[in-house]
Amino acid sequence: MDVILLQLLNGLDKGGAYALIALGLTIIFGTLGVVNFAHGALFMLGAFCAVSVQALLTISKKVKDESIKFFDAYKEIPYLEAWWGDTGAMIIDYAVPISILIAIPLMLLIGLGMERGLIRYFYKRPHAEQILVTFGLAIVVQELIKAQFGANPIPTPAPEVIAGSANVGLWVGLGESVVYPWWRLIYLAFAGVVIALAFAFLNLTTYGMVVRAGMADRETVGLLGINIQRRFTIVFGMAAVIAGLAGVMYTPILPPDYHMGMDFLVLSFVVVVVGGMGSLGGAVLAGFMLGILQSFASMNEVKSILPGIDQIIIYLIAVVILLVRPRGLLGRKGVMES
């Protein structure tokens, strides 16, 4: 029982991450019709917001390290700690939450810049060319990050107070055997909130309704005298923010490195397509479904019957779903089918 509950939590947590990463991608797909291979790079940039904030907070003065005699080595003492002692150390400790506040405006700017500077010229171009240009952009971005930060993952821990695990078992009356890291629970809640906000924005506000109308029929909306172009720009910015936030929040779980965007790129495409092109709900549903099934497929009991199933489960489910439901879980007819 505990095992099942734990795997369910793992699945929800994974699913939250998948859904959050896929959400931005499907918004860009669905509204702008652009195949954005740089989406993984946006996710990675978000994570490196946290790395940069942490680096800024830990700018250090160098003190000669006398214990090393072979060459000139320096100990690094962050100025914040040197000036403010424990308060300074605490600020550094909260680097990841702080970077969430910084990532929102920063990713918005990056998103707007990317749309205005590059993507908008590709709305009418074939998907193949969109792939090539965004893939090129992704490579450029990640190589620049590598030049600055190196290729090794960089530890970006969560604040000390929530570094440990919560006793989930006690909450649900299962005793002390079910513990789960605080940060993962927070991630799950955060994913839920961001997804709900995106939905509310697109479905409940007039602004969002115009955007959706523009998705369905750009020309008519344009004829009504609405500047649909500007709305699309803002939607792209919003997608970039969501991708970035997914990245920032993921850093305590996965120490970021320059290649993490590419690692998640294929997965996020699979999630979006399994969910169905042009459907936000589908992407979220698919994210959680794939996350949960992946967790259960990794259980030893399952693996002993089907060796290697955890290696391929995501793709296997994708194949089965696309064969049973031609347009994914909740896909609309005619979107990106040709």
The token pair at 187 is 């991630």
* Distance from C-alpha of 171 to C-alpha of 190, rounded to nearest angstrom: 20
The one among 34, 242, 318, 329 contacting other proteins by CB under 8 A: 318
For other proteins, the closer of residues 123 and 165 by Cβ is 165
DSSP 13: H
Footprint (CB under 8 A) of other proteins, residues 244-283: 252-255, 257, 259, 262-264, 266, 269-270, 273-274, 277
Q: Which region, judged by CB under 8 A, interacts with other proteins, from 93-101, 181-189, 205-213, 215-223?
A: 181-189
Residue 88 binds other proteins, judged by CB under 8 A: no
The CB-of-314 to other proteins minimum distance in angstroms stands at: 8
Q: Which region, judged by CB under 8 A, interacts with other proteins, from 80-88, 90-98, 151-159, 240-248?
A: 151-159
* Distance from C-alpha of 193 to C-alpha of 90, rounded to nearest angstrom: 27
Residue 129 binds other proteins, judged by CB under 8 A: yes
In the chain, at which residue ranges do the beta strands (DSSP E only) sit?
Answer: 60-64, 74-78, 165-166, 180-181
The CB-of-318 to other proteins minimum distance in angstroms stands at: 5
The CB-of-46 to other proteins minimum distance in angstroms stands at: 16
The one among 171, 172, 225, 307 contacting other proteins by CB under 8 A: 307
For other proteins, the closer of residues 212 and 259 by Cβ is 259
For other proteins, the closer of residues 231 and 327 by Cβ is 327
Q: Which of 296, 295, 241, 291 is nearest to 268 (CA)?
A: 291
Locus of tokens 């205005």: 116
Angle subtended by helix axes 260-275 and 309-324, to nearest 10: 30
**Residue 54 contacts residue 95 (beta carbons within 8 Å):** yes
The token pair at 219 is 């020309």
Residue 315 binds other proteins, judged by CB under 8 A: yes
Footprint (CB under 8 A) of other proteins, residues 41-70: 65, 67-68, 70
**C-alpha separations of 17 from 57, 103, 244, 285 in Å:** 27, 17, 12, 12
Residue 125 binds other proteins, judged by CB under 8 A: yes
Q: Which of 103, 95, 96 is nearest to 46 (CA)?
A: 103
Residue 170 binds other proteins, judged by CB under 8 A: no
Q: How many residues bind other proteins (CB under 8 A)?
A: 93
